Structure 1
Amino acid sequence: MDFFNHIGKMALGSRLRMLTEKITEDAAQIYKLYDIDMQPKWFPVFYVLSKGEEKTITAIAREIGHSHPSVSKIISEMSKKGFVTEKKDETDGRRNVVCLSEIGMQVTHQIEDQYVDVASAIDEIAAQTRNDLWKAIEEWEFVLEQKTLLRRVQEQKKLRESSQVRIVDYRREYQLAFRNLNQEWISAYFKMEESDFKALDDPEGYILNKGGKILVALYKEEPLGVCALIKMDDPDYDFELAKMAVSPKAQGKSIGWLLGQAIISKAKELGASKIYLESNTILKPAINLYHKLGFQKVAGRITPYERCNIQMELIIK
């Protein structure tokens, strides 16, 4: 076990598989010890049917937590050995039901001593260990039902990568990234408009020199996200959140969320009480992000953008 002690938790699946294989190999020998011609993988199906009730393959699969194809294959193997019989359901001729054959029922009596001895052997193992494996398995199964290992790894990956994101103030060296990142998403869904060119070709003159701000998200020092606050000459709003763009290759790193939080904090520093934005409902991830940041839909206003079909505001508290 030196390998597993060295590699640790990353080999959890491999170690569990080895333990399962070891127990399964012993189980096959145990059946032979009691002169029972049965494969270990049949046992869940056999046990369900040993209660004497006829069941459909679907019902068996649901009860033991296996897939329908898996149970169907096991039934086929058990049928060849004469353990089960299949017949049409008397109440619904479209369905087949399965039950133990005479041979299968004989095994239910023959296996009783095996049940007793196996249970005692497992109790003996449990008495020699500090941890209750059965309870631990139940706990792991419950926790993984709430959130899978895959989902948990995805979240940890996102946390690690987002920790490598830095939000910085705009500098002239980021002008090309500011333009390209925005042009990339706009051109993918819509067309570039006059207001886009004004802001992207001259961010200093159109945004910064008028009291606005631009933030840039750096991932491993590469600019992969941008967002702007444009000063508004409007009695209802102080700034417009605009020109938010994140590179597709940076998805899953929380850059949009980090940029949104940073730009709202910047607006607070500037004394803003309300922020306005315009978007399009086809951009579902963006709309979801805005809602998550606290923006709410407002009645339509005059807009310079053809693509705009939703307007939102954030009241800063």
Structure 2
Amino acid sequence: MGFFDEIGKVAIGSRLRMLTDKVTEDAAQIYKLYHIDMQPKWFPVFYALTRQREKTITELAKAIGHSHPSVSKIISEMLKKGYVKENKDKTDGRRNVISLSKKGMKISAALEDQLIDVNAAIEEISAQAQHKLWEAIGEWEFLLEQKSLLRRVTEKKKERDGANVEIIDYKSEHQEVFRSLNVEWISKYFTMEESDYKALDDPQGYILDNGGFILVALYGGEALGVCALIKMNDGEYDFELAKMAVSPKAQGKNVGFLLAKAIIEKAKSLGAAKIYLESNTILKPAINLYHKLGFQKVPGKPTPYARCNIQMELNLN
């Protein structure tokens, strides 16, 4: 196992496959030892049918946690061997049910001694082992059901990428990237509107000089995200979170989340009590991000944007 000792836990899939292959190879020989003509992969289906006499393929797949196509293929193989039979459901003629044949019932009886001996052998290994594999597998299955390995790795990637994101204050040199990033995403989903041009063509006059702020996200020194706080004077909200745009090149690098968090912290530092935003529900990643940050949907109010169909607020107190 020198290779796995060297490469470590990142090769868990390969190591588990090797263990599975070894156990499966032994299982095939064990069936021969007891003069039972069966493939190891059939066992979950076969055992499920010994416990409940009739099941549809869908019911079998659900019972043993396999896919429908996988169980369907196993049933086809067992039908050829004569271990199972397929009949119409007596209560619902539209359904086919699978059950053990007479030959299958004989195999079931012959399996009893084998299962006793296999269980005893597994117990012996468990007694000799320092770590309880069976309990550990159950734990891992539970934990991966709560959050998959893919999702965990995705989160770790975002964390690592996020460490390379730098949030800075807007400078005049960022005017072009502020405009281009916003025009890019707006044009992709909607049509540029008059209020867009006001903010993007003159961010200094429209946003900054009126008490607002703009932050820029750098990744590897390149500006890949922007977000603004626009000062509001409606007596209800202090700022509007607006003009947040992230380059497609930054996808999956946690830039949007870090940028939004930073702009919220900026609002807090200015003593803001409430932030308002407008969006559209077709922008699902953005809406999910706002919910994650604590924004809640509010009743609609007059808006200059035709594309707006959802309005949200964040209480900072």
TM-score (norm. length: structure 1): 0.90
Distance in 2 separating the partners of 1:56 and 1:160: 47
Q: Which amino acid aligns with 1:16?
A: L
Distance in 1 separating the partners of 2:301 and 2:108: 76
Go from structure 1 to structure 2 and tell me whether the alpha carbon gap of 1:29 and 1:176 turns closer, same or farther (over 3 Å shift).
same
The alignment covers a number of residue pairs equal to: 317
Q: Which amino acid aligns with 1:77?
A: E
Aligned residue in 1 for 2:125? 125
Q: What are the residue-to-residue correspondences of 1:291-306 with 2, within 5 Å?
A: 291-298=291-298, 300-306=300-306
Distance in 2 separating the partners of 1:48 and 1:306: 58
Most deviating of 34-43 and 304-313: 304-313
Distance in 1 separating the partners of 2:302 and 2:59: 60
Distance in 1 separating the partners of 2:111 and 2:14: 31
Aligned residue in 1 for 2:32? 32
Q: Which amino acid aligns with 1:141?
A: E
- Measured against aligned partners, the alpha-carbon deviations of 1:236-258 in whole angstroms (never above 9, x if no partner) come to 44433222111123233332222
Aligned residue in 2 for 1:307? 307
Q: What are the residue-to-residue correspondences of 1:195-234 with 2, within 5 Å?
A: 195-234=195-234
Q: What are the residue-to-residue correspondences of 1:129-168 with 2, within 5 Å?
A: 129-168=129-168
Aligned residue in 1 for 2:111? 111
Percent sequence identity over aligned pairs: 72
Go from structure 1 to structure 2 and tell me whether the alpha carbon gap of 1:216 and 1:47 turns closer, same or farther (over 3 Å shift).
same
For residue 50 of structure 1, give the secondary structure of its aligned residue in structure 2: helix
Most deviating of 158-167 and 134-143: 158-167
Contact 1:212/1:231 (<8 A) preserved:
yes
Go from structure 1 to structure 2 and tell me whether the alpha carbon gap of 1:157 and 1:37 turns closer, same or farther (over 3 Å shift).
same
- 1:184 deviates by 0.8
Aligned residue in 2 for 1:173? 173
Go from structure 1 to structure 2 and tell me whether the alpha carbon gap of 1:172 and 1:63 turns closer, same or farther (over 3 Å shift).
same
Structure 2, unaligned runs of 5 or more: none
- Measured against aligned partners, the alpha-carbon deviations of 1:160-204 in whole angstroms (never above 9, x if no partner) come to 222221110112222211111111112222322333233222322
Contact 1:225/1:244 (<8 A) preserved:
yes
Most deviating of 287-296 and 161-170: 287-296
Distance in 2 separating the partners of 1:279 and 1:116: 63
Q: Which amino acid aligns with 2:103?
A: I
Go from structure 1 to structure 2 and tell me whether the alpha carbon gap of 1:134 and 1:198 turns closer, same or farther (over 3 Å shift).
same
Go from structure 1 to structure 2 and tell me whether the alpha carbon gap of 1:29 and 1:313 turns closer, same or farther (over 3 Å shift).
closer
Distance in 1 separating the partners of 2:87 and 2:311: 63
Q: Which amino acid aligns with 1:140?
A: W
Aligned residue in 2 for 1:186? 186
Q: Which amino acid aligns with 1:262?
A: A
For residue 35 of structure 1, give the secondary structure of its aligned residue in structure 2: coil
- 1:113 deviates by 2.2
- 1:61 deviates by 1.9
Contact 1:178/1:200 (<8 A) preserved:
yes
Distance in 1 separating the partners of 2:119 and 2:152: 35
Task: Say which one has the larger Rg.
Answer: 1
Go from structure 1 to structure 2 and tell me whether the alpha carbon gap of 1:134 and 1:233 turns closer, same or farther (over 3 Å shift).
closer
Most deviating of 172-181 and 299-308: 299-308
For residue 211 of structure 1, give the secondary structure of its aligned residue in structure 2: coil
For residue 241 of structure 1, give the secondary structure of its aligned residue in structure 2: strand
Q: CA RMSD in A?
A: 2.3
- 1:267 deviates by 2.2
Aligned residue in 2 for 1:53? 53
Contact 1:61/1:67 (<8 A) preserved:
yes
Distance in 2 separating the partners of 1:105 and 1:301: 71
Distance in 2 separating the partners of 1:25 and 1:272: 66
- 1:116 deviates by 2.2
- 1:210 deviates by 3.3
Distance in 2 separating the partners of 1:173 and 1:245: 17
Distance in 1 separating the partners of 2:117 and 2:300: 76
Most deviating of 95-104 and 180-189: 95-104
Contact 1:84/1:99 (<8 A) preserved:
yes
Distance in 1 separating the partners of 2:229 and 2:303: 16
Distance in 2 separating the partners of 1:247 and 1:157: 18
Q: Which amino acid aligns with 1:156?
A: K
Most deviating of 27-36 and 61-70: 61-70
Aligned residue in 2 for 1:73? 73
Structure 1, unaligned runs of 5 or more: none
Q: Which amino acid aligns with 2:242?
A: A
Go from structure 1 to structure 2 and tell me whether the alpha carbon gap of 1:175 and 1:78 turns closer, same or farther (over 3 Å shift).
same
Q: Which amino acid aligns with 1:224?
A: L
Go from structure 1 to structure 2 and tell me whether the alpha carbon gap of 1:149 and 1:313 turns closer, same or farther (over 3 Å shift).
closer
Distance in 2 separating the partners of 1:12 and 1:261: 35
Contact 1:181/1:225 (<8 A) preserved:
yes
